[in-house]
Amino acid sequence: MTSIYSAEYREALDLLKAARKSARVTQQELADAIGRPQSFVSKYERGERRLDVVEFFRICRLVRADPFPLLKRIDANMD
């Protein structure tokens, strides 16, 4: 399945996934922490589900990633 989202959004998802893996947090562990099924994490990481800004910040907090450098990196690539 291909994503319907922009390259910048895809980059945001890739950065979140990398942060999760760097924190050694599984999809299941993250899903449990946010009270959602594992498929929720899988779907947003594959671009099948869109995250809102609140979800983005909550996930960043749970995987111990500073959201602001991630956002700046995405912004820099939008030019």
What value does the mean pLDDT of the chain take? Answer: 90
Instruction: Give Cα 42 to chain centroid, integer Å.
Output: 10
Given a cut of 50, is residue 17 above it in pLDDT? Answer: yes
Stated pTM of the model: 0.84
What is the fold of 7-76? 434 Repressor (Amino-terminal Domain) (1.10.260)
Concatenate the DSSP letters of all residues of 15-69 into one string: HHHHHHHHTT--HHHHHHHHTS-HHHHHHHHHTSSPPPHHHHHHHHHHTT--HHH
Q: Is 64 a residue whose pLDDT tops 70?
A: yes
